[in-house]
Structures are given as structure tokens and as C-alpha cells.
């Protein structure tokens, strides 16, 4: 069955008798049966159109007399991408309203910026729902690339991201791996917010949900104000109350959303209140107009003061509501029940509702005339005049004090900034410095992005005959702390399983670190099974696990101060030419004095790899051992710990492991890994038991990494402590 992958006149269908004509002067012209112009395409600079062709990839192209392209349908995408197609900055994908109505649904769109793919729900401003920014990580900067344009290309079974100033596809970084193509494929952005990959298999079948979020994470899954819980929709209601503030738009189709029983009126803001919903989260917490860390009460008050605000969403960690992320949307899409064991953060939703006040009782007349002016002759009026004078002097005094404080703060910041370079020059054991200009040249103006994470972006560079990885920290205010941590720790430690810091740069607000280059990239590019594409054999996977353990053992037990990495995950484990593994990204590390059993720190790391004790913020290096256990299971199973492409009961790998262990069915986990893994069945089961030893809820029962290394190198006794 043929599929429509591009439409010229999405919002204006034509009737029977419509005509499509090609002329040199007007180009390609579509007219309705009555002769009215519906759509046209011609040369971008007024060139005469000499011909039309459709390429093998499906690109409709208008040509001039020299067979040069003057217009291409690929430059005007609708809701689909086909192999070979580019989505560049300035282009958007918008879904159809339905499968039979090709009119664009402007509530949703996908676009490209900073060589990344971004999906938004409508409203002003648009609300980001992909990538997921609800995990406490810093939002990406709202900036355009410094050089050329960024684009996403659908080629070779992947979505490739790159920067380029021309329309020619160049080599880039794999942004999203797709199901390997066995036959024809195309991608469609659909009205439910999903970007789905279709493949011909005796009919068109969905082979991948590209954005990968769980159903409840999509903004339209339950309509506006609808509450999603494990795929089921309902309207929000107040706890322990019979009052209904929301009702379904359609009682027979609850997934269409909910609406306020009483519309919100800006004429009576005193009758607004916030309906509290505990343990309810939203798909977005990014608000550039609010401080990044704010307390819960301030978040709620900010919404009540602004009539355009329809809700206050507050995200925080543990029980600390004095610091969190606040989001105040002007339009509310689907809500979701927060699953703490998955998200590792707490959240509350406060929906603005209109309450109906009883009729006011007769009141004593106020001391003012009919024009609302205060009557100065009354005692009350005189008291108000005196109070007003006192208030005036108070305001003047406060203003003067504020001006003095502001001047002092500005002066102090200038002084602090002036001495900034001197401060970095005095850090003991610091490696050689680069200038910012030298690193701009080495990275070719930071043109090749290797990846993002740990408060910064990493670029490929060339210094002399050596390739290097240059990490540029994002915001100077937060990056300075991470910068000092990395320089002071990595600059003074050397181990074969730790990425080596070569040099650094500290000029004004610029903070950069220069690392050795790891040619095979990060571990996540190699360990996940994708059909028959399994590049790492079992022995290589075992060696990588041992390398990770050795690197962690050195940090935890062999340094002058114990160092907790705090963000162990495949993306922070890099591979060299020989697939030897090295730990990277110490921007989140924490040094622990030998005489301290634990430290208190703010929550950090990546959901899916966080130890349970993060919820209390009482952490030791044992959080790394838990994360190590998760990574071990990902390496031997070939899948991610949190995989939302799986059925709901199989999303969480560690939960599956625990269930299989309880039922003595660990062998079931080997079946998914193919014939080669069956050969090493006994080793696999032993490795799973080692992972479970590291994954114990009580961190005191987890082993030290040095013991794990001995087990992996078969230096421990046969009676392993985890058996």
C-alpha cells in the first residue's frame, strides 16, 4: 500500500478537475477546478524552470536549463523523512491532524538546532518534550551554532547529526541508532507526538519508536489537563474532596483530555487557587525566565501573580522543597504520575482553578468618594496619609540601601573576575595551560562535536601529530566548580583505566579541558544488541568489565583521597583502539577524606544508574558500585536498563533481573543474547550474580571494587561471597 510522505497543499485539498502544470515562468502550479491558485513552486531566485524529476530517494526537484536544482521538496518537509533526507535548522516536521486529514497539526513540531533533534508541544513559548529535560540536568543553551548550519540526516540506518554550511550531507555523529533496514523504510511524525520508523514487511509495520519515551511522557497522550498513569487517562481531582474542578471533554473518549469546570477569569484573580496534586510530574521543567533553583512556595506564588500561568510544576530531590526546578506554562498538556523508582526525583503539580465565592455581605462604606479617591477629612483618611508618608520614607531608604549593596556586589565581582586567572595559576599540581585561541585553532573553531554531558560539550581537536578531545564547560558560574574538581583530581592521578588529562585552559569565562583522544568512542555505541549487529564478543565484554572495575578501584582505594565518580554509565566509559576501557568525565566527582564514612551532596548522576541512597543524599563511593552493577547488566544483556521500547513489564532491566533471581530463572536472561552467549552460559550466570552483589539496596553489603577486581581476575576463592 502506497504511503503519502509529502504533500504540497496540506491545508487546502483540491477537488475533482484540479490541474497541475509546469511552465518555465511560473514553475510547478496547482490550481483547483475553478482555476484558483492553490499552490506553486518556482526557482528561488527567479530562474526559469526547464524540467522536473523525482529522485530515487523521493525528492521532487525542479531543474533549470543547466539541470541544476532550483527547488526541492526535501527543503519543505511535512510530516515524514525518507532515507537520504535532511532536516536542517529552520525546517520543521508537523504531524497531520489525522490519517485522513493532511492539514498540519500546529500543536506539535520537531526541529533541529545545535546539531540535535528537538520536539515541542505548541503554545507560546513552545514546550520541549524531547530530549527529556526533567532529570535535573542543565537545559541546553538556546543558541545557534557558531559556524555553519546544523542538520539531521536520515542515512545508513541512523539519524546523523552534523554541522555544515552547504546542502551536501557530510560525515557526522550518530544521534539516534535505528533498526537496521531490511527493506524500504520511512519515518513519520504522528499526531500523538511519536516519531515512528516504518518498514515494509508484507505491509507497512512500525519497527521503532524513534524518540523512545514512555507513552505517558508525550504531551498529548491524555489531552490537555489529562492525567496519565500506566497508559490510563483520568481527570485530576483534589485529594479528600468531593469538589470537581475538571471534567472530561468527551465522557466516551477520556484520552481527549479534560477542561476546567469553571473557566479561569483574569477579572477575578482573587478567586484563583492552586489545586495540589502530589507525586504528579510534567514532561518539561525548563523555564528560562525563572531561577534554576527556587523554593516550592515561591514557585506557587509566581503562578498566582501571573494570570497567564495555568499551573506550577515543581521538581525536587529527596524531601528538600527549598531548592528545585519550577515551570509555569501558559497551556497545560498531559500530566503523568511520577514513578520515583524510575525518575529518581520528586515532583508536585499545582493546577490553577477558579473558585466561586459566595455573594458578598453588606460592608461599611470605605472612606473614599465616588471616584475612589481617599477622603482626607476622615480619621481613617488622615491615618492613611501619615502611613503613606512613612511608607514613602521607608521606600526611599530601602532604595538607597539597595543601590549601595548593588554597587558593592558589582565591585566585588569585578575584583573576583580580575583575579580569576591568578587563582587558577595557584592550584597545586596543575598541568600545562593552553590559551583559548590555541584551542580554537586546534578544534577548527569547535567544529566537530563528539558529545555532550557533564556540564559541557566535547570537541575533536588536533595538537601537533596527536588527536585530542577538548571539553568546553557550559556555564562559567556552574562550570567553575566542575572545572576545579576535574583539574585538581585528574591532573594528579594516572591510571591505565582513566582517561588522561593533558592540558587545560582558563581565560576569563572560558573553561576547557584537553584529554587524550579515545578512537572507539563511548561504550554505549558498542554494547547494545541490535538484531545481528553485535560487534563485541563475550571475551571483549568481560575485559571491558574488568577495566571499569580497575579504574574504580584506583579511584576508591588507591588515591590519597577516596574519589567517588558519581556518574558511572556507558556514555562515560571510553574505548581505545584495542577496546580497552577508561573512565571519563570527572566533573561530577567527589573527594572523600579517609576518615569520613560518607558525605552529603546534592543529587547528581543519571537516572537508571543511581543508587537508592541518593534519595537521602547520604552517599559514599558505594554509589559507584551500584552504578557499576547496572552497567555490568547492560554489557552482558545487550540492552539498556531503562528501555521504553519494551512492554511495560520489561522496561526496567534490574527489576527483571531481581524477579528472575527470585524464581531461580537467570538462564532466561541468556536466551535473548544469541548463540554466542549460550556457549558461555555459566560465565554469564556468574557475572549476573556479581552484578546482583553490587546492586544490593543496603550499600554496606556491596563489595569493595578491589574485591570485585579479584573476583573478575579469578584471584578470589571459589566460594564467591555473592553465591
Please provide residue 613's backbone torsions phi and psi, each rounded to the nearest 5 degrees.
-70, -10
Most confident among 360-369, 403-412, 436-445 (mean pLDDT): 436-445
Read off the pLDDT of residues 292-321 as tens digits, 9 standing for 90 and up: 678 999 999 999 988 889 999 998 887 888
Task: Give residues with Cβ within 8 angstroms of 630, minimum separation 6.
Answer: 569, 608, 609, 641, 653, 654, 691, 695
| Counts of helices then strands in the chain (DSSP H, E) | 12, 39
- Per-residue pLDDT averaged across 675-696, rounded? 86
**Any idea how long the chain is?**
723
- Range 674-678 contact pairs with CB under 8 angstroms and sequence separation of 24 or more: 674/529, 674/534, 676/534, 676/537, 676/538, 677/538, 677/636
Q: Is the pTM of this model over 0.75?
A: no
Evaluate if residue 427 carries a pLDDT over 50. no
Among the listed ranges 522-526, 558-562, 570-574, which one has the minimum average pLDDT value?
A: 558-562
State yes or no: is 567 an active-site residue.
yes
Q: What is the pLDDT of residue 249?
A: 92
CA distances from 248 to 96, 252, 256, 260 (A): 24, 9, 8, 9
User: Hey, is 148 helix, strand or coil?
Assistant: coil
Q: What is the pLDDT of residue 361?
A: 43
Evaluate if residue 575 carries a pLDDT over 90. yes
Q: What residues are designated binding site?
A: 471
Mutual angle of helices 622-637 and 705-712, in 10-degree steps: 30
Most confident among 96-100, 303-307, 388-392 (mean pLDDT): 303-307
Catalytic hit among 32, 114, 215, 567? 567
- Per-residue pLDDT averaged across 342-368, rounded? 68
- E strand segments, 230-382: 232-234, 246-248, 258-260, 272-278, 280-281, 311-316, 325-327, 335-337, 346-354
Evaluate if residue 448 carries a pLDDT over 80. yes
Q: Which percentage of the chain shows pLDDT scores above 90?
A: 30
Q: What residues are designated binding site for ATP?
A: 471
CA distances from 455 to 387, 564, 615 (A): 51, 17, 22
Q: What is the pLDDT of residue 426?
A: 43
Evaluate if residue 135 carries a pLDDT over 80. no
Dist CA 145 CA 148 (whole Å): 7
- Per-residue pLDDT averaged across 282-299, rounded? 78
Q: What is the pLDDT of residue 65?
A: 87
More confident residue, 501 or 358: 501
CB environment 274-305: b (16+ within 10 A), e (fewer): bbebeebbbbbbbbeebebebbbeebbebbbe
Evaluate if residue 578 carries a pLDDT over 80. yes
Dist CA 189 CA 2 (whole Å): 17
Evaluate if residue 358 carries a pLDDT over 50. no
* Cβ contact 151:164 at 8 Å: yes
More confident residue, 334 or 292: 334
- Per-residue pLDDT averaged across 36-61, rounded? 86
Helices (H), 18-59: none
- Per-residue pLDDT averaged across 352-360, rounded? 69
Evaluate if residue 684 carries a pLDDT over 50. yes
Domains of the chain (ranges, CATH numbers): 19-120+146-211 (no CATH), 216-354 (no CATH), 424-516 (3.30.200.20), 523-712 (1.10.510.10)
266: exposed, middle or buried (Cβ count in 10 Å: 0-12, 13-18, 19+): exposed
- Per-residue pLDDT averaged across 18-35, rounded? 90
- Per-residue pLDDT averaged across 351-377, rounded? 52
What is the β-pairing status of strands 335-337 and 227-229? Answer: parallel
Q: Is 714 left (phi over 0), alpha (psi -120 to 50) or beta?
A: left
Across the strands, what pairs with 471? 458, 513
Q: What is the pLDDT of residue 245?
A: 92
Q: What is the pLDDT of residue 553?
A: 92
Q: What is the pLDDT of residue 98?
A: 82
Residue 528 banded pLDDT, cuts 50, 70, 90 = confident
Amino acid at each position: 500500500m502506497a504511503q503519502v510522505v509529502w504533500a504540497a497543499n496540506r491545508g487546502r485539498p483540491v477537488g475533482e478537475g484540479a490541474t497541475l502544470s509546469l511552465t518555465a515562468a511560473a514553475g510547478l502550479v496547482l490550481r483547483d477546478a475553478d482555476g484558483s491558485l492553490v499552490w506553486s513552486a518556482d526557482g528561488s531566485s527567479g530562474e526559469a524552470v526547464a524540467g522536473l524529476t523525482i529522485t530515487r530517494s523521493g525528492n521532487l526537484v525542479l531543474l533549470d536549463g543547466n539541470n541544476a536544482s532550483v527547488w526541492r521538496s526535501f527543503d519543505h518537509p511535512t510530516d515524514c523523512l525518507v532515507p537520504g533526507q535532511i532536516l536542517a535548522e529552520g525546517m520543521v516536521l508537523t504531524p497531520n491532524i489525522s490519517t485522513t486529514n493532511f492539514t498540519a497539526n500546529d500543536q506539535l513540531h520537531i526541529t533541529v538546532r545545535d546539531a540535535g533533534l528537538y520536539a515541542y508541544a505548541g503554545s507560546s513559548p513552545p514546550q520541549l518534550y524531547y530530549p527529556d529535560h526533567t532529570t535535573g540536568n542543565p537545559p541546553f543553551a538556546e543558541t545557534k551554532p557558531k559556524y555553519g548550519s546544523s542538520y539531521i540526516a536520515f542515512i545508513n540506518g541512523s539519524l546523523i547529526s552534523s554541522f555544515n554550511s552547504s546542502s551536501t550531507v557530510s560525515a557526522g555523529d550518530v544521534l539516534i541508532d535505528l533498526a537496521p533496514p531490511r527493506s524500504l523504510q520511512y519515518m513519520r511524525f504522528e499526531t500523538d507526538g511519536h516519531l515512528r520508523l516504518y518498514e515494509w514487511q508484507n505491509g507497512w509495520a512500525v519497527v521503532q519508536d524513534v524518540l523512545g519515551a514512555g507513552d505517558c511522557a508525550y504531551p498529548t497522550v491524555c489531552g490537555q489537563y489529562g492525567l496519565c498513569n500506566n497508559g490510563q487517562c483520568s481527570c485530576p481531582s483534589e485529594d479528600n474532596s468531593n469538589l470537581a474542578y475538571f471534567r472530561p471533554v468527551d465522557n466516551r473518549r477520556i484520552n481527549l483530555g479534560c477542561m476546567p469546570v469553571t473557566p479561569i477569569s483574569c477579572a477575578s484573580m482573587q478567586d484563583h487557587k492552586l489545586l495540589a496534586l502530589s507525586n504528579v510530574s510534567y514532561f518539561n521543567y525548563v523555564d528560562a525566565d525563572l531561577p534554576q533553583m527556587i523554593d516550592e512556595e515561591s514557585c506557587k506564588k509566581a503562578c498566582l501573580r501571573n494570570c497567564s500561568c495555568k499551573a506550577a510544576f515543581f521538581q525536587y530531590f529527596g524531601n528538600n522543597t527549598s531548592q528545585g526546578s519550577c515551570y509555569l506554562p501558559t497551556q497545560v498538556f498531559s500530566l503523568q504520575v511520577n514513578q520515583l523508582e524510575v525518575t529518581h526525583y520528586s515532583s508536585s503539580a499545582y493546577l490553577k482553578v477558579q473558585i466561586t465565592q459566595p455573594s458578598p455581605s453588606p460592608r461599611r462604606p470605605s472612606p473614599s468618594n465616588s471616584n475612589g479617591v481617599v477622603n482626607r477629612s476622615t480619621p481613617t483618611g488622615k491615618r492613611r496619609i501619615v502611613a503613606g508618608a512613612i511608607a514613602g520614607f521607608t521606600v526611599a531608604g530601602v532604595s538607597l540601601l539597595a543601590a549601595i549593596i548593588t554597587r558593592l556586589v558589582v565591585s566585588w565581582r569585578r575584583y573576583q573576575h580580575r583575579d580569576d586567572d591568578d587563582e587558577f595559576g595557584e592550584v597545586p599540581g596543575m598541568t600545562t595551560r593552553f590559551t583559548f585561541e590555541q584551542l580554537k585553532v586546534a578544534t577548527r573553531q569547535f567544529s566537530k562535536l563528539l558529545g555532550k554531558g557533564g556540564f559541557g560539550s566535547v570537541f575533536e581537536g588536533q595538537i601537533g601529530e596527536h588527536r585530542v578531545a577538548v571539553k568546553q564547560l557550559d556555564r562559567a558560574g556552574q562550570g567553575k566548580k566542575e572545572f576545579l574538581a576535574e583539574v585538581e583530581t585528574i591532573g594528579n592521578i594516572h591510571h591505565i583505566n582513566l582517561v588522561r588529562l593533558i592540558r587545560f585552559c582558563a581565560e576569563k569565562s572560558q573553561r576547557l579541558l584537553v584529554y587524550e583522544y579515545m578512537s572507539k568512542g563511548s561504550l554505549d555505541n558498542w554494547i547494545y544488541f541490535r538484531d545481528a549487529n553485535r560487534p563485541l564478543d563475550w571475551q571483549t565484554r568481560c575485559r571491558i568489565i574488568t577495566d571499569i572495575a580497575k579504574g574504580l578501584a584506583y579511584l576508591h582505594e588507591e588515591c590519597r583521597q577516596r574519589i567517588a565518580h558519581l556518574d558511572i554509565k556507558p556514555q562515560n566509559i571510553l574505548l581505545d583502539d584495542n577496546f580497552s576501557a577508561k573512565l571519563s568525565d570527572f566533573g561530577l566527582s567527589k573527594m572523600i577524606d579517609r576518615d569520613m564514612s560518607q558525605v552529603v551532596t546534592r543529587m547528581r548522576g543519571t537516572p537508571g544508574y543511581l543508587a537508592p541512597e541518593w534519595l537521602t543524599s547520604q552517599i559514599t563511593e558505594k554509589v559507584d558500585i551500584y552504578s557499576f552493577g547496572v552497567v555490568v547488566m547492560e554489557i552482558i544483556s545487550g540492552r539498556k536498563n531503562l528501555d521504553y521500547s519494551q512492554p511495560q513489564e520489561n522496561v526496567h532491566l534490574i527489576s527483571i533481573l531481581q524477579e528472575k533471581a527470585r524464581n531461580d530463572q537467570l538462564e532466561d536472561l541468556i536466551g535473548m543474547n544469541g548463540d554466542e552467549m549460550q556457549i558461555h552460559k555459566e560465565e554469564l550466570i556468574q557475572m549476573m550474580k556479581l552484578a546482583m552483589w553490587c546492586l544490593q539496596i543496603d550499600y554496606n553489603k556491596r563489595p569493595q571494587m578491589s574485591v570485585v577486581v579479584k573476583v573478575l581476575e579469578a584471584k578470589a576463592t571459589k566460594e564467591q561471597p555473592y553465591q
